[in-house]
Amino acid sequence: MVYFDTLAGLSATPKAICRISTDATGDLAVVPEIELDLGLGLTTATVGSAVGLIDIDFVISDVLGHGLLATDRTVYVHVRLDAGTGNLSHSHITWQE
């Protein structure tokens, strides 16, 4: 789930494009880019949120010797809008082991 504020210049059917990776630059994706419909606020069109279910299994391990050991359980969420601008105010990721 991702939350935005100060949205402007969006397309008619706005989307948030998300990727989850094990590095801060987004080069080592464990979840490739997915498009999520962006729902705008009912009373304030400059805020919105997007929710998606990613039903895949993945293992955080030493990917090609990049030092991403299974003990380093950090993942990064990379988000962009298909058009316009906005501030990513916060995100929530939930998983099970």
What's the angle, vertex CA 22, arms to CA 21 and CA 26, rounded to 5?
Answer: 45
DSSP-derived pairing of the beta strands 48-50 and 29-37: unpaired
DSSP 19: E
- Position 39 scores a pLDDT of 93
Find, among 81, 86, 18, the residue nearest to 52 by Cα.
18
SS3 state at 50: strand
- Backbone phi, then psi, for 40, in 5-degree steps? -85, 155
Dist CA 55 CA 50 (whole Å): 16
One digit per residue, pLDDT tens: the chain, 97 residues? 899 999 999 998 999 999 988 888 988 888 889 999 999 999 998 999 999 887 777 766 655 555 555 456 778 899 999 999 999 998 888 777 6
